[in-house]
A and B are shown apart, each in its own frame.
Chain A
């Protein structure tokens, strides 16, 4: 880095320190001198000095380490209320005067001392001959002095408020200080010994150059932030704006956004509306009638089994089903009624039709629409939540969306059905190649399965469709041909979202939802 870009990158504190040397670039300054002439707080100064040392703009000339003795919080408190050793000794002497027996427990409770403090003090006093321990755990003053107690008293007074150099004490005092200084594992001591580092600092060659440059370019005050005040009085003109390291990673934010799967479905929704489809909706809880009977699925159909559909616990049945649909559909099942069909030839059970289920197919919504006098020509769609009695795994969800719909019109026939599917292939899957295969659905005839060549997925099944059977349309009051169609989009959605497990579409992992990019 050349010197001018080095200067540009300096922090204001660093500039202050360098500028201190401006009048005499070769000066050797003590830390205290630096503090004085730069006017920096000790913490700011030491930060700036460390940075400059790291950048080799500053060098250490000499470094003197002086051990200093100061009082800890505990020590400060001993100044007034005396140290444990003093208090134990005083108590023993007082007992000698009053003639009372004094137990260790007495001292402990009277003086409010910790057992460890008391036993430590007694041990030392006994060793110095100032105390005796007599029968019954009592202590007795010998009347002899305790050098330790006296030394501590003196030291507490001397060091109180002003730290002093270790060197200024006698050997005996130093010993006492060492013995009563905080160490690892023993924080409750009165004295602390710290190293005071007195450094003298000088500029390195690069530092001198920088200092010179700085003084030459004059000192524009550097600021980190443009403020309304700077703009108001125009003083920004006399400031330098500290440069940022813009290559650092930006802090992360969590934006408000749509769920990626929902966004995918929204896109599908928009496409369908743009193709002239009107949205339809229906309830989550359905009767078997609208979910199956109206779709000409016989009541004995395997897909109506207890192992395929969720039944509602309470109430078990709807109170009513709208007429004339109920009777007409029942008739269609029994013998075809007026539909031109021979029907399924079994006794239709109305109680069964009223049974409540969780909607198992979106076609139930279409059935409602057929019964509600839909527009002719008309196009309808729904993105309906459906429920299947399935063991949940990577490819089976217990509730899922079905994209379904109908198209009504005089011009509807097998070929227009294929034409519509072609349109879906192009618009929804961006597929140019399409294959139509015969298929089976209980409610359509003819029925088609559409396979498309997806740009990313290759050949895949995109959906199923067919012309509604007359047994479906006529009982619901519709006399024109009707296309019923459904699209299977989950696989496309999963690829678009980069997931392999269908359960992840409804994931509870906020990190995953936040970090997933949108689809399409």
Chain B
């Protein structure tokens, strides 16, 4: 979900169209209109007109810019989208971009166009740069699948070549540097080379964009040349290029730039890309290009999904007012997305656009009418019962993070190298404090005890909750188990005190148990037992080992038990 910055006056200008008077809007009107683009106003500066907008739809990169937002609102206001004229080239002799063999194994696709007649403004330049960054970052997966370059057209001589060179074969002065360096050097020292070099790792030849004179344009997807690859306010002729690994995404990205620049008044001229290898669009590909395929669907599908009878006409009207091209027949519509969108995967995507175009407020909520019976899972019921009994015995419930540290869960319990100390650990650790799932409950209780020596005694606390235990017999390598842990801590805390609680608990959940002495490192020897029920180990009880208390810096004795609710609940 990208968050972008736009300027109110720029938005108003784009709503009117090039050469027309701005259409002022209030903030409320803007907020309302943002419903059309799944946008939310996150912040604004009334002095500069700056608006911070979060766009939710990760499948609509065309909306991640001021031009796209303005376009969606404008289309709705005008009722339809005027057709972009650059798809049918005016001149017979198109500018060309030649692709070098071998790129199919490195970064196969490129799309490009020129834009002239729009003098770049400050706001316009800010949008161009922001769009370039957001699209490459979020849509282009950090430039891996799509990256974009903008250039000053005047300095470029066609045809341009999308070349493949050895790291030391080409050199130029990149943006942000004062001296020329080879592509290999850029990967080693340029900040962008360091950030994005991984995309090209393992390649012995690198993508390189140059013009007919051999002048360097850029090293895609890393960095542009400082000479021609830095667009400035006042420029009125641009060259736009997109490279990447997915042809339709590359073309879509260029389409979005072409539409954006056209909306600002630029004349877009397509460029012919010639590949030495086959692509889904052939070996000669003109870009921008409308990749939209039409889709026919019964109006009934839409009506049923929306729960509202609308009729062909209303459906078509809503879609046209959302930018679609629509033809109608009896009880069905054939729809095509505008060239800056490719997110139509399923009929339901059309359904949502009908709803958004009409406005969600247009649909009257109805209660689902069918009867269903509610209820809790067996384990939840059982756990609720055990919790109520613990509360009745004077225990305060606590609630803890399930993620903890091996230090607390294992070492602090003297369980290093034991079966009780086995943990499900996190691979990509962010903080050691949250790097393993708790395998039992007592560390959670000790966490509270350790922090609460000022709370008056006695302390009687419990928690019922999930733990995860490694188990190679499971497909997931671990089991999630619901357990209950209870602990008593005060100056005279004694085994029999916690034993009484355990005994009472088992009595009231209607199950029998017995204790069997156990050597468990967390407890004092001779004062700990396995809890057995129907011949199975279902828990442990004992006086906490003084060394455990010392490690947790607890200064009073503590006695505790833990039982496996999942096992007990499964019994009839």
Contact = CB atoms under 8 A, between A and B. Distances in A.
A285 B478 contact: yes
Contact of B351 (A254, A316, A446): A446
Contact of B398 (A283, A422, A513): A513
Contact of A447 (B352, B375, B380): B352
A271 to B, nearest CB: 10
A155 B450 CA distance: 59
Given A318-B476, A414-B306, A416-B366, A278 B372 contact: yes
B389 to A, nearest CB: 10
A262 B452 contact: no
28 contacts: A254-B456, A254-B458, A258-B397, A273-B375, A274-B374, A276-B373, A284-B466, A285-B476, A313-B425, A318-B475, A318-B476, A320-B475, A389-B428, A389-B430, A392-B431, A415-B307, A415-B365, A415-B366, A440-B38, A440-B58, A445-B349, A446-B351, A469-B346, A505-B399, A508-B400, A508-B452, A509-B451, A511-B452
A508 B346 contact: no
Nearest to B449: A510
Interface of B: 1, 35-36, 38, 56-59, 138, 141, 145, 248, 304-308, 344-349, 351-352, 355-356, 360-361, 363-377, 379-380, 384, 387, 390-403, 424-428, 430-431, 434, 437, 447-452, 454-456, 458-461, 463, 466, 468, 470, 472, 475-480
A282 B366 CA distance: 31
A467 interface: yes
A172 interface: no
Nearest to A508: B451
Contacts of A302: 58, 138, 141
Interface in A451-510: 467, 469-471, 481, 483, 505-506, 508-510
A276 B371 contact: yes
Top-8 shortest CB links A-B? A413-B307, A510-B452, A415-B307, A418-B365, A446-B352, A377-B370, A273-B374, A256-B394
Nearest to B390: A256
Interface stretch (A31-39, A111-119, A182-190, A339-347): A339-347
Interface stretch (A98-106, A202-210, A304-312): A304-312
B346 A342 contact: yes
Contact of A312 (B1, B425, B447): B425
A262 B397 contact: yes
B91 to A, nearest CB: 34
B346 A445 contact: yes
Contact of A375 (B372, B458, B466): B372
Given A320-B475, A411-B369, A415-B363, A446 B345 contact: no
A483 B372 CA distance: 15
B55 to A, nearest CB: 9
A103 to B, nearest CB: 50
Given A418-B363, A445-B346, A470-B348, A413 B304 contact: yes
Nearest to B425: A313
A312 B426 contact: yes
Contact of A438 (B35, B145, B368, B376): B35
Contacts of A311: 426-428
Interface string A318-331: 11110000000000
A286 B424 CA distance: 12
B398 A445 contact: no
A12 interface: no
Contacts of A448: 360
Contacts of A483: 368
Nearest to A277: B374
Interface in A363-404: 375, 377-379, 385, 387, 389-392, 397-399
A506 B427 contact: no
A309 B485 CA distance: 29
Say which size band chain A's interface belongs to. 35 or more
A415 B308 CA distance: 8
Interface string A264-302: 001001001111111111111111000000000000111
A310 B403 CA distance: 11
A446 B305 CA distance: 9
B394 A255 contact: yes
A355 to B, nearest CB: 10
Contacts of A392: 431, 434
Given A269-B380, A313-B425, A409-B370, 9 more contacts: A273-B376, A276-B371, A285-B424, A399-B434, A415-B308, A416-B366, A440-B58, A508-B451, A513-B448
Nearest to A339: B346
Nearest to B139: A302
Contact of B387 (A258, A278, A310, A320): A258
A306 B428 CA distance: 7
A284 B352 CA distance: 33
Given A259-B399, A284-B480, A414-B306, A508 B371 contact: no
A367 to B, nearest CB: 15
B480 A285 contact: yes
Interface string A232-258: 000000000000000000001011111
Contacts of A362: none
B399 A262 contact: yes
A218 interface: no
Given A259-B398, A285-B478, A422-B365, A269 B455 contact: no
B252 to A, nearest CB: 13
A423 interface: yes
Interface string A407-449: 1011111111011111100000000000011111010011110
A356 B477 contact: yes
